[in-house]
Amino acid sequence: MSTVGIIANPAAGKDIRRLVAHGRVVSNQEKANILRRVFAGIVSTGAERILIMPDHSGLARPGSSDVEGQIAIDYVDMAVADHQGASTRAARAMAEQGADCIVTLGGDGTNRVAAKGCGDVPLVAISTGTNNVFPANTEGTLAGIAAGALATEQVERDDVCRRSKRIDIYVDGEKRDDALVDAAVSSQVFVGARAVWDTKTLHAMFLTRAEPASIGLSSIGSRLMPISIDEEIGLYIQLDGEPGENATTVRAPIAPGMISDVKILDWRVITPGEQIEISLHPGTIALDGEREIELLPGQKIYASLSTDGPWVVDVPKAMRLLAGNRNS
């Protein structure tokens, strides 16, 4: 049964960066409207089922009502989503239940946790968060069409998807967590409000990509050396310690409405599998903009670039192929 999964994060786009910066607020009403357009797009492709992560805001209810009787609507059998781990469980359940593609609504953080569970199921990532390097500003209707076309095999994964990179964090030899865009080592010792916006607290950063048109911590790297999703390299940036030969200062948009001068003490390209030790103790590591890992004395911690991240649907490319198929 051709199936499209839906993971919509009601908390995305509502963190502390609305107070310390000028991050946009994407209301639950707007997210529900986006999903209505996504559902219409999916139905138009002839897909047979939509599988939804339940959430306390009921974001999918209006869209489900719109397409009632036109497609099977199921919910993942799980507790109502109320924290980030739910997105991982939902993505894993969708993969196990035969989802051919998963549409996500959120920012880098939402996609990071969804990617932990989706396996090789491609993501169609719609931007509704704060830092949106990984997800694209995609119209919901087109996202639904692309997801449905992939599910119904009107387009093939290898033709319309790219494989993302990851930064893997290892603690005492075991993988602890990962980031899709940036892993930032901070001198702040507590997770606290999670979000990172003050570069003066940063010790080092690891980036999978550094695109000039992005916003957030990865934009710092783009001022040093632009790196795209397709290049099998990343960046390591040192912001604290002894200056190296690449010492410089860059101006970058580190959060919505926040443009800062950032002092870089050194930086270099990193390659897949290379292990870079993190020596700061105590401190924290922020993954895709949110502090997640506490650095404790006595731990051996390192970061490594991986090319085995999630598959991501290139919606414009999928639409071009669909147009070509219908004209041939």
C-alpha 143: how far from its chain's center? 16
DSSP 79: P
At residue 324, the pLDDT reads 81
pLDDT of residue 133: 86
For 3-164+310-327, CATH gives 3.40.50
Q: Which amino acid is at 325?
A: N
Q: Residue ranges of the domains in the chain?
A: 3-164+310-327, 166-306
pLDDT band at 301 (very low <50, low <70, confident <90, very high): very high
Domain 166-306 has CATH 2.60.200.30: yes
Reported as a single tens digit per residue, the pLDDT across 130-183 is 657 888 889 999 999 999 999 999 999 999 999 999 999 999 999 999 999 999
Mean pLDDT of 273-280: 93
Q: In the prediction, which pLDDT does 238 show?
A: 95
Least confident of 45-54, 102-111, 171-180, 239-248: 239-248
Q: What is the pLDDT of residue 193?
A: 47
